[in-house]
Amino acid sequence: MAFVLVGDDDPDTRTVLRMLLTRAGHEVMLACDGPDTVAAARHRPPDVLLLDRAMPGMDGYQVCRMLRAHPSTRTVAIMLVSAMSHYADVDDGLAAGADDYLFKPFNNQDLLARVRALASAASTGDESRHAV
């Protein structure tokens, strides 16, 4: 399966995502804020990054921009997973470089299907999925 990095400041969300993704056969690494997420992604680029929009130190949009600007992480598949559920938030997230945006609370099967699709596109080198 895929190597998934979860960047979220909420410990309960990290726990739920880790359990859900691990049960689906994915390898999971956790990060608790924006700078930690950037460092983890640069150390070992994930196949898919699940990223919260609002985090301390650096928000999800800033993380997206930093990862897209760095050669080792510019092709990482990024999905923002956020309680910020206005369409302007989705537009801003995609403009920052996210490939997908999912609202919290999310449906577990929907999240897993999206992770599979992003991991599949990433494994084939399909960069057309990037919004920018």
* Nearest residue to 84 via CA among 96, 76, 72, 67: 96
Residue 110 CA to residue 106 CA, distance in Å, equals 7
Predicted confidence (pLDDT) per residue in 3-32, tens digit = 999 999 999 999 999 999 999 999 999 999
Predicted confidence (pLDDT) per residue in 28-67, tens digit = 999 999 999 999 999 999 999 999 999 999 999 999 999 9
Q: pTM for this structure?
A: 0.92
